[in-house]
Amino acid sequence: MDFRTAFLLVIWSGLSLLTVVKSAENLALSKPTNQSSTFTTYDSSKAVDGCARQQHLSDCCIHTDYQKDYTEVWWQVDLQQQSVLEYVSIIYRDEIDLQPQRLAGFELYLSNTSDWTSGMRCYKDNTPTESSMALFLSISCQNVARYVTIYNDRRIKTYPWYSDDAVLELCEVSVYGCTIGKYGNGNCNNDCLNCLGDKCHPTSGVCDVCDIGYYKNGANCILCPLGCVGNYCDRNSGYCLDCRDGYYGPLCSPCSTGCNRDTCNKTSGVCFQCDPGRYGDKCEQTCTPYCRDDLCIQSNGVCIGCKPGYYGDMCDYQCPANCRDFACLQANGKCDECIPGYYGERLTKPVRRTAETVFVIEQMVAVQVVRLTFMDSTVQRIVQTTARIDRACRIPAGVQNAFPVSMETNVWVFVAIVKTQAVTRTLEIV
């Protein structure tokens, strides 16, 4: 590797490392370590001491034993508690041409015990050429673990340029992340919120899975809708598994306020019954103000009876003014009864008094005032006039039968006056 290539590689790697440092907290710094073997004094702790110099004599790097021709080798750090990991940064010794050959093909394992073989492999190097093998790496390795292990195997070489023996010369290993329940940008000071098992992304705080009673809304886990039975809902959609009484729909929205006792169909939201004064599927419409007791049919708003003085399906017509007590039938407006002096069922008219009636009244008044004894012919004329009124009007039979037929003239006149007064009180046009 020439000097220019090495210089550019260091610059690129340094920028990558800075990005990682800002993302979360280095959990590996000064933590307990172990390795498969040790060459002289270059023990495992030197990879987490904060010294990143890449020269052997700087005493900043570990070195496994290379004199016994090992075909397998490993180094391990104990983070001391389960943590949510984001990146692993590796700075390798960089002095002679052997370093790329020795690091190539390494593997990265995460585990919850020191037995890394029972853990999971989160990375394996497959760099195809020696010239492209970097000695400063930032590896995304997102999972939950307590132990991080770097392993290399030379029992089978993937590429012929790999070293024959398995050797590790790690100068600094940084594991970026936060302990479970924490996250932050450059630190782990913030608490994960509403995450299952308190596990969230160490930098963003986004939950992998929301806790029971919460669902994913963008980057946050928010409470399931209040209408969900037991506050249970789908953790991704927020749809309730079942709704409490008074709620409906996939998100258990409240039933309409017009629903009687706030109850409705849990699927459609249609009210089982409306409160007085309301109608419609969701009881969102108002009955007309003249429905009796504010009651109307839920499906169409037709009033169940009208208040006095009104008629029609919606009770929006006034009964005729000539109905007694303004009372009429809801269906057609016909009066239950007419006020005195009016007839008919709906459009009542006043009783008609004929000119002949006026003539009789005038004659009777004249007779009474002047107190004259009329000739039989005059009385007969009055009788004939009254008879015509009898035929044109419904005069009560009692009044007709009371008319005398054989009396003195002055008596005839008196009776005619009485009959005429009775006629004016009881006339009804046929």
Query: Which of 11, 13, 187, 180 is CA-nearest to residue 91?
Result: 13
Radius of gyration of the chain (CA): 54
Contact between 287 and 279 under an 8 Å Cβ cutoff? The reply is yes
Q: What is the pLDDT of residue 359?
A: 46
Q: pTM for the complete prediction?
A: 0.57
Could you tell me where the DSSP H helices lie in 24-123? 98-103
Q: What is the pLDDT of residue 346?
A: 57
CATH class of the 3-183 domain in this structure: mainly beta
Token pair, residue 212, equals: 């029971």
Place 24 in a pLDDT band, splitting at 50, 70 and 90.
confident
Q: What is the pLDDT of residue 358?
A: 43
Lowest-pLDDT choice from 35-39, 69-73, 227-231, 347-351 = 347-351
Question: What 8-state DSSP symbol labels residue 60?
Answer: -
Q: Give me the chain's average pLDDT, please.
A: 81
- Does the pLDDT of residue 109 top 90, yes or no? yes
Q: Which residues in 240-388 belong to E strands, given as ranges?
A: 247-248, 253-254, 278-279, 285-286, 310-311, 317-318, 342-343, 349-350
Domain chopping of the chain, boundaries: 3-183, 214-254, 289-349, 355-426
In DSSP terms, 145 is beta-bridged to 83
Q: Which residues in 96-188 belong to E strands, given as ranges?
A: 107-111, 120-124, 136-153, 170-179, 182-183
Lowest-pLDDT choice from 37-46, 144-153, 197-206, 418-427 = 418-427
Q: What is the pLDDT of residue 23?
A: 58
Place 384 in a pLDDT band, splitting at 50, 70 and 90.
low
Whats the size of the chain, residue-wise?
430
pLDDT for 271-301, tens place per residue? 999 999 999 999 999 999 999 999 999 999 9
* Better-scored residue on pLDDT, 10 or 316: 316
Q: Which residues contact 71 (CB under 8 A, 6 or more apart)?
A: 153, 154, 155, 165, 166
Q: Which residues contact 415 (CB under 8 A, 6 or more apart)?
A: 402, 403, 404, 407
